[in-house]
Homo-oligomer: A and B are copies of this chain.
Amino acid sequence: MNSAASSGSHLGLVGSSEAESTAASASRVVSDQAPGRRGLAAELPDFPWDTIATARATAQAHPDGIVDLAIGTPVDPTPRLARDALVRAANSPGYPLTAGLAELRTGIARYLTERWGAAGVDPDATLPVIGTKELVAWLPTLLGLGPDHLVVYPTTAYPTYLVGATIAGCGAITCDDLDELGELRPALVWINSPSNPTGQVLGADELARRVEWARARGAVVASDECYGEYGWEAEPVSILHPSVSRGSPVGLLAVHSLSKRSNLAGYRAGFVAGDRALVGELLAIRKHAGMIVPAPVQRVMIELLADSEHVEVQRRRYAARRRLLRPALESAGFRIEHSEGGIYLWATRDEDGRRTLDLLAGLGILVAPGDFYGPAASTYVRLSLTATDERITAAAARLSGR
């Protein structure tokens, strides 16, 4: 996905030739209708899940059944609060507001201010999105970036940052130490703390350093804070906190999702907030482009953002699973790296991650191989805490040889 490993540097430049070679290995076909089209479908990376089909089959054959820790899809119930709000809003014949209901925008601003200590975020600097994956994927396009622009994202990362750059036709480069970019002047820098997949949590000083670097070059900083509610050995900090933003959201966009916070992935609910002018631009385009969060989902978001109790309930669930799974992995010879935050354990046996994948599949445990997230991560695997207590207990027992 990037050349970080092969170049021997921490920089990985992702060019169109690599995108094409990915496409060449894919079975996807572009229709012959309207010839001369770009064929965007073929430029995008393959969905790699097919490559773990054999491991999945092996894990499924375990006499006590598969423990699927590969995909981070929440399994605990959507909170009662959300369900009740959805039901109350079920009569919604008319068009919703793209900007979000006034109560929702106020609620987002209040949540960022009270929960995250954000400074200077008014309601009109917030915008609901149809789950944050669409915002991540479309942000470079919505910002009007193109072939003359460069997007920077972490070396080991959620694949959608690259997808977003590819859709917009931008250059993309992976980098964790921005100083290595030298004279390059990116238009957009992605930060993701806690990280998917590594669980790394960046401190306020490191975040502030990145913001300062980007501001000096006129780059927008987008901070994917979707796992922010889950800090374990470190407390996540929002990019909008004054220790990072220096009190001003100018040039900054914080991206939040309710999928993990509130077991709400099925509803597609998230928001972006920060720089008022940038948010205004996004809104202007999204109004024309019909990117509207359904009215009942907006009502649910209002209720959930005002409540922290259900988040604490979910935190305790993940914490308990983590306490079971982490020592079991360590007892089985795994080393856990980072994982200070988020809903994954990032583990290695210092061997090819595909070998680890197979080993765990033999125990009936399915994981995501590190190479899904970039070549620098090929010796790791990602284990999600999004399985039931019963399944996590089973995995821990199998790892401990009990």
Contact = CB atoms under 8 A, between A and B. Distances in A.
A77 B263 CA distance: 29
Nearest to A38: B144
Nearest to A138: B289
Interface residues on A, range: 35 or more
Nearest to A167: B289
Nearest to A164: B289
**Copies per complex?**
2
Interface stretch (A110-118, A274-282, A326-334): A274-282
A78 interface: yes
Interface stretch (A5-13, A52-60, A92-100, A171-179): A92-100
A332 B253 CA distance: 54
B34 A220 contact: yes
Interface stretch (A24-32, A192-200, A361-369): A24-32
B91 A296 contact: no
Max chain B CB contacts within 10 Å: which of A45, A83, A92, A163? Answer: A92
A220 B30 CA distance: 13
The secondary structure that dominates the A interface is: loop
Interface string A263-292: 111111000000101101100110111111
A145 to B, nearest CB: 6
A218 interface: yes
A275 B32 CA distance: 11
Contact of A41 (B86, B135, B285): B285
Interface in A32-60: 32-41, 44-45, 47
Interface stretch (A68-76, A227-235, A335-343): A68-76
Contact of A163 (B259, B280, B289): B289
Given A90-B87, A297-B294, A47 B266 contact: no
Contacts of A160: 288, 290
Nearest to A83: B90
Nearest to A36: B148
B75 A144 contact: no
11 contacts: A28-B284, A29-B277, A31-B280, A40-B144, A73-B95, A75-B94, A77-B91, A78-B91, A130-B291, A130-B292, A133-B289
Interface of A: 28-41, 44-45, 47, 71, 73-78, 82-83, 86-87, 89-96, 130-138, 141-146, 148-149, 160, 163, 167, 187-188, 218-220, 250-251, 259, 263-268, 275, 277-278, 280-281, 284-285, 287-297
Given A31-B281, A34-B219, 4 more contacts: A41-B284, A92-B266, A94-B266, A136-B290
